[in-house]
Structure 1
Amino acid sequence: MEVGLKPGEISLGTTLIAVAFDGGVVVGADSRTSMGGSYTVNRVTDKLTYVSDRIYCCRSGSAADTQAVASIVTYYLQLYAIQHEEEPPVRVAASLFQELCYKNKDALSAGIICAGWDKHDGGSVFGIPMGGSMHKLPYATAGSGSTYIYGYCDTSFRQNMTKEETIEFVKTGVALAIGRDGSSGGCIRLAVITKDGVQRHFIPGDQVPALGVI
């Protein structure tokens, strides 16, 4: 996605998905980082960003802006864990993202999906789009590739999916976007976040399903 970028500034044309299920969340993304829309600067980027032991974020917009925001949130969540002697809730992390993005909305190109598990609410997904609003959602998509898969998500998403069904839903959504969006590509990275921790999954580019592409 390219919003108000200066010449030479790297943007995250991308596909991001996060889905809550009973017991946790699954977050997924492609791995292509582009500049200027047509130039790929990194084809194996890890866009699933750690912010706490059971909270990750997915970043769209300017790579520099979103990385800076994520680093600040990570720092404050570390302070929270020390002060409260417990892992921070997902809502706290999302609120920090929202405050930073809203207060700096005229200077940042940053869209965030914040997702994870905590003992208070279980698996939670929050969307913080550009402008700095915050929305708790059963699932969220973002990035340039998300516009290609709204129909798939609307028709295929079901409440109370199992972990395995949720993984397949996210993987298929990212694969469909990769097939249509020129700014999405590479491999697929997934993270399954539950009370037991984080499991990472990697689908290499040559194993990404070619779905619906003639």
Structure 2
Amino acid sequence: MGQDGPGDLTMVPVSMGTTIVATTFNGGVILAADSRTSSGAYIGNRATDKITPLCDNVYCLRSGSAADTQAIAGYVQHFIAQHQAEENDRISVKTAATLVRTLAYNNKDNLSAGLIVAGWDKHGGEQIYSINLGGTMTQVPFTMSGSGSTYIYGYADKNWRPNMTQEEAHDFVQRCIRYAIAWDASSGGCIRTVTITKDGVKRVFIPGEEIPPCFGELPREARVG
């Protein structure tokens, strides 16, 4: 039996990138994500949907291994469907987030999964829960994750504020993703957002050609190749 070495691709760490952002506003939450799925320098999918519904009023943002986060979301969708059928009522955002946290924590040695769970319920209103790679869950007013988040912490800290209107919050998350796409090579593609309020869910899709260039970037029509 040969020993693992530099030529063994199974032992080489894979660099994965993304940018996900969520914020509360006065009456709801907004989740936003880029759409690039990468494995090192290879872009596997330019139009991935990283915003996954767990149920009607709770969605999650996925970062880390796409397979790991999809598996967690699938199990939680199943558990929530059972719970809501038994209780004949919508699940609370905190309960949904706790299910995600439990799966992430119990499998922390085998999974690479950082998730953000957000939604609205009649008990707690708008809520966001950040669940890191180790399975720690924290309730926060806004949060971000992924490789692109390191480029936008300064912008977010300066421009986020509590009790924003829906329009202000949507502009905030859109700018966060836009700036991350501009400066992080592992983030890119288009921008997707999901807005959740007591009145329901609204999705917005912004294709790449409609994302304005940032400072220092050439406009798309001026680029070659």
Same fold per TM (> 0.5)?
yes
RMSD: 1.6
The code of the aligned residue for 1:200 comes to R
3-state SS of paired residue (2:193): strand
CA, structure 1 residues 154+192, in 2 after alignment: closer, same or farther (shift >3 Å)?
Answer: same
Alignment of 1:89-100 (within 5 A): 89-100=92-103
> What TM-score do the two structures reach when normalised by structure 1?
0.94
3-state SS of paired residue (1:154): helix
CA, structure 1 residues 86+145, in 2 after alignment: closer, same or farther (shift >3 Å)?
Answer: same
The equivalent of 2:34 in structure 1 is 30
CA, structure 1 residues 178+161, in 2 after alignment: closer, same or farther (shift >3 Å)?
Answer: same
User: Does 2:22 correspond to 1:18?
Assistant: yes
Post-superposition Cα deviations, 1:160-204, rounded to whole Å, max 9, x if no partner, equal: 000000000000000000000001000000011111111000111
d(CA) in 2 for partners of 1:204, 1:9: 31
The code of the aligned residue for 1:34 comes to S
Alignment of 1:184-199 (within 5 A): 184-199=187-202
The code of the aligned residue for 1:65 comes to D
The equivalent of 2:221 in structure 1 is none
> How many angstroms does 1:24 deviate by?
0.8
The equivalent of 1:106 in structure 2 is 109
The code of the aligned residue for 1:121 comes to G
> How many angstroms does 1:77 deviate by?
0.8
Alignment of 1:28-107 (within 5 A): 28-35=32-39, 37-107=40-110
% same residue: 51
3-state SS of paired residue (2:111): coil
Structure 1 contact 29–189 (Cα < 8 Å) conserved: yes
CA, structure 1 residues 8+28, in 2 after alignment: closer, same or farther (shift >3 Å)?
Answer: farther
Name structure 2 gaps, 5 residues minimum: 1-8, 218-225
> How many angstroms does 1:11 deviate by?
6.8
Q: How many residues align?
A: 209
Structure 1 contact 9–62 (Cα < 8 Å) conserved: no
d(CA) in 1 for partners of 2:50, 2:14: 14
d(CA) in 2 for partners of 1:69, 1:211: 35
3-state SS of paired residue (1:209): coil
Larger radius of gyration: 2
Name structure 1 gaps, 5 residues minimum: none
The equivalent of 1:180 in structure 2 is 183
3-state SS of paired residue (2:176): helix
CA, structure 1 residues 75+10, in 2 after alignment: closer, same or farther (shift >3 Å)?
Answer: farther
> How many angstroms does 1:9 deviate by?
9.2
The equivalent of 1:131 in structure 2 is 134
> How many angstroms does 1:7 deviate by?
6.6
3-state SS of paired residue (2:174): helix
d(CA) in 2 for partners of 1:213, 1:90: 40
CA, structure 1 residues 6+90, in 2 after alignment: closer, same or farther (shift >3 Å)?
Answer: farther
d(CA) in 2 for partners of 1:52, 1:191: 13
3-state SS of paired residue (1:26): strand
d(CA) in 2 for partners of 1:108, 1:101: 7
d(CA) in 2 for partners of 1:208, 1:44: 14
